[in-house]
């Protein structure tokens, strides 16, 4: 799965994720497009928000870069 697919599985918008992680929707978009990677603390926050492991977030980051 990609970061976008994980987000959509939770029915969240980029704006909602950005609010929860105290960042911008543009940053979330960059992560989902593989332009940038989230920092470790952000990976942990994403895992908690999406209800998955940090390993799954890391795999999703890699998958986002390839898609």
* Residues in the chain where the model's pLDDT stays below 50: none
CATH number assigned to the domain comprising residue 38:
1.10.260.40
What pLDDT shows up at residue 28? 99
Q: Can you give the pTM of this predicted structure?
A: 0.94
What pLDDT shows up at residue 67? 76
Distance in angstroms (rounded) separating the CA atoms of residues 17 and 20: 5
Whether residue 7 contacts residue 64, with contact meaning beta carbons closer than 8 Å, is answered with no
If one counts the domains in the chain, the total is 1
Q: Which domain holds residue 39?
A: 3-66
Distance in angstroms (rounded) separating the CA atoms of residues 12 and 42: 16
């Amino acid at each position: 799965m990609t970061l976008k697919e994980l987000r959509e599985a939770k029915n969240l918008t980029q704006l909602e994720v950005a609010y929860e992680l105290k960042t911008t929707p543009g940053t979330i978009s960059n992560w989902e497009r593989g332009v940038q990677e989230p920092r470790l603390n952000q990976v942990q926050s994403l895992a908690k928000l999406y209800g998955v492991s940090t390993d799954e977030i890391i795999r999703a980051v890699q998958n986002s870069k390839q898609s």
